[in-house]
Amino acid sequence: MLKDLRDLPQDATIEADLCIIGAGAAGITLARRLRGQGHRVLLLESGGFEYSAQAQDLYKGRLTGLPYIPLDTARLRYFGGATMHWEGMCVPLMPLDFDRRSAVPDSGWPISYDDVARYYGEAQEVCQLGPLRYDLSDWLDPEARLPDLSRVQSRVFQFGPPTRFGAVYRQELVNAEDVTILLHANVTEIMVDDGGEVVSGLRLATLDGTTATARAGRYVLACGGIENPRLLLSSDQVHTAGIGNSHDTVGRYFMEHFETWPVNIAMTTPKEKVQPYFGFNVEGLYLKPCMVLEPKVQEELGVANGGATLDSVAYHEDVTGFVALRRLLNGVRKGDLDEALETLPLILADLDDVAEGTWRKLNGQRYRPLAGDGHAVSVKIYGEQVPNPDSRVMLGDDRDVLGMRRPVLDWRLTDLDRHTAVTSARVIGEGLAGEGAGRARMAEWVEDEGWPDSLEGGMHHIGTTRMSANPRHGVVDGDCRVHGMRNLYIAGSSVFPTCGYANPTLTIVAMALRLADHLSMRMAAVMPDVQGGKE
């Protein structure tokens, strides 16, 4: 069933058994899973079925900390959410991501890997992917010979069509008699009863001034890692610090998958030796292989999880070690010490090439930086950002057209994040070099402090309403229910305590399926809804 809040009478009240706030991957998955079960489901969407600059403006916020993509660019505010510009890239979390790891502060989930993994098969279907197979060896011809990296696992990312949830599943939900999609319905406040433990309703508003109230027995907040904490912090009429924020955890532990290029490999054999790592199609599915340090190696080296992919890049002789040495000597001869000093990092980063070029020069042979086909391989790291309470989402002083305070994102990385990126790349690069694929050369920024200008985020907003067994350490419990609240749940990657290296969408869908089953069981149980009593 489809409705538009702009067409309803002023100050109308809409009632349901379950109200889902947000129609992205999590919200749409929840609604689809619960349809046909006899529950009245209300699915609220801030925008419409098409992009609107006015609705998109509500996502604007301020950035502090590390440079980051503008918040109104990182998400889409219409039916389908971020899946409407998603590349379809998927991989499940690994078992170790759920474990307490000595090197990773605040790691460990209150639920097990198996609790989520049993939903991955269904999540594959929802995301229109192939079989639940993510080891590279499952997809390659047995005769394929790849470098044997003993300290590394070779996995794959699967790419879906990509699946635009707002387009693929729209009609199914519009036709569902027990699901109501309410478009242009912006939640401006989550109302709480005087006791502070029960959500009593939601204040809704359109951009043109229509207001309404939504009431339900249970509510699920599924607006993403920026808007979820923004709504909780903004709803401060009863809980002055915001809902679920008794211990100042709402908005903290913002995590991203940081992307950087710490190492290149100058190939000394034809690039066919690693060709499968550049990506390939099989069974109508595009696969991009990735390499991950073995769990025991991560523990040994004191790093978090990080996936590495390979890309073929043009090779430039002027960045090789021996050529840099010649530039240094020329600079010394000319008395140009500045030019000479600029070459030192290049020399130190590529000593193997210095040795090879010097040997050839002394033996009267032509300098050949490459014995192969003139290509290099760039190693890209998808790093797991470790939980950091100082990396956070807050409320600023600026307000949007609905009168709500805009968010402020303070993205911060730690020395451990940098150690993860550099160490993972070094192990993988040296492993490939040791297998005869080429010479590993670390990027110049690795020898300095801080991060390179090329640092990027994956537009993955994770961890700001994290799951925890103890209310002091997070916002929701193992069932995704907000600590201290009887009928408020949160869906999406904002509940992840850690993020691994995996793109979050597949796990968002799996977790939404799990939450839907929990809610279905609760609503089917013989007990009054909290709107009229206690659970």
Q: Is the pLDDT of residue 271 over 70?
A: no
What per-residue confidence (pLDDT) applies to 316? 47
What per-residue confidence (pLDDT) applies to 493? 98
Mean pLDDT (whole number) for 104-122: 98
What per-residue confidence (pLDDT) applies to 149? 78
Does residue 412 contact residue 258 with C-beta atoms inside 8 Å? no
Q: How confident is the model at residue 193 (pLDDT cuts 50, 70, 90)?
A: very high
Q: Is the pLDDT of residue 348 over 90?
A: no
Say which residue, 143 or 442, is predicted with more confidence.
442
Note the pLDDT tens digit of each residue in 491-532. 999 999 999 999 999 999 999 999 999 999 999 884 454 443
Say which residue, 368 or 197, is predicted with more confidence.
197
CA R_g for the chain: 26
H/E segment holding residue 406: strand 405-411
What per-residue confidence (pLDDT) applies to 342? 65
Q: Is the pLDDT of residue 534 over 50?
A: no
Q: How confident is the model at residue 370 (pLDDT cuts 50, 70, 90)?
A: very low
Q: What is the mean pLDDT of the chain?
A: 90
Q: How confident is the model at residue 320 (pLDDT cuts 50, 70, 90)?
A: low
Domain covering 2-313+380-422+451-524: architecture: 3-Layer(bba) Sandwich (3.50)
Does residue 489 contact residue 244 with C-beta atoms inside 8 Å? no
The neighbouring-strand residues paired with 457 are 258
SS3 content of the chain, % helix, strand, coil (to 5): 35, 25, 40
Does residue 298 contact residue 103 with C-beta atoms inside 8 Å? yes
Say which residue, 283 or 390, is predicted with more confidence.
390
Phi and psi, residue 84, nearest 5°: -80, -10
Of the given ranges (144-158, 344-358, 415-429, 452-466), which has the lowest mean pLDDT? 344-358
Q: How far apart are CA 165 and CA 27, in angstroms?
A: 10
Phi and psi, residue 126, nearest 5°: -60, -40
What per-residue confidence (pLDDT) applies to 318? 47
What per-residue confidence (pLDDT) applies to 364? 67
Question: Is residue 244 left, alpha or beta, with left meaning phi > 0 and alpha meaning psi from -120 to 50?
Answer: left
Would strands 186-192 and 488-490 be described as parallel, antiparallel, or unpaired?
A: unpaired
Q: Is the pLDDT of residue 411 over 90?
A: yes
Does residue 62 contact residue 406 with C-beta atoms inside 8 Å? yes
Mean pLDDT (whole number) for 275-285: 87
3-state secondary structure 6-63: HHCCCCEEEEEEEEEECCCHHHHHHHHHHCCCCCCEEEECCCCCCCCHHHHHHHCCEE
H/E segment holding residue 291: strand 285-293
Q: How confident is the model at residue 277 (pLDDT cuts 50, 70, 90)?
A: confident
Q: Is the pLDDT of residue 108 over 80?
A: yes
Token readout for 94 is 């690994």
Mean pLDDT (whole number) for 456-461: 94
Q: How confident is the model at residue 315 (pLDDT cuts 50, 70, 90)?
A: very low
Mean pLDDT (whole number) for 141-151: 72
Q: Is the pLDDT of residue 486 over 70?
A: yes
Q: How far apart are CA 113 and CA 107, in angstroms?
A: 13
Please state, in angstroms and as integers, the Cα–Cα distance from residue 249 to each residue in 324, 423, 488, 497, following that order: 50, 30, 16, 12
Q: How far apart are CA 209 and CA 211, in angstroms?
A: 6
Does residue 115 contact residue 514 with C-beta atoms inside 8 Å? yes
Note the pLDDT tens digit of each residue in 324-345. 777 777 777 666 666 566 666 6
Q: How far apart are CA 295 and CA 304, in angstroms?
A: 9
What per-residue confidence (pLDDT) applies to 359? 73
Please state, in angstroms and as integers, the Cα–Cα distance from residue 462 to each residue in 30, 46, 200, 256, 385, following that order: 19, 21, 27, 6, 10
Token readout for 179 is 């699901």
The neighbouring-strand residues paired with 293 are 152
Say which residue, 106 or 264, is predicted with more confidence.
106
What per-residue confidence (pLDDT) applies to 274? 74
Say which residue, 514 or 439, is predicted with more confidence.
514
Mean pLDDT (whole number) for 287-293: 95
Say which residue, 175 or 347, is predicted with more confidence.
175
> DSSP 3-state assignment of 492?
coil
> DSSP 3-state assignment of 297?
helix
The neighbouring-strand residues paired with 14 are 214
Token readout for 475 is 């916002």
Q: Which residue has the tokens 């433990």?
A: 197
Q: Which residue has the tokens 């869908």?
A: 509
Please state, in angstroms and as integers, the Cα–Cα distance from residue 517 to each residue in 29, 79, 185, following that order: 11, 23, 26
Say which residue, 104 or 426, is predicted with more confidence.
104
Q: Percentage of residues in the chain with pLDDT exceeding 90?
A: 74
Token readout for 281 is 């199609």
Q: How far apart are CA 178 and CA 319, in angstroms?
A: 63
What per-residue confidence (pLDDT) applies to 120? 98
Let me know if 294 is exposed, middle or buried by CB neighbors in 10 A (0-12, 13-18, 19+).
Answer: middle
Contacts of 257 (CB under 8 A, 6+ apart): 382, 383, 384, 385, 457, 458, 460, 499, 501, 503
What per-residue confidence (pLDDT) applies to 283? 83
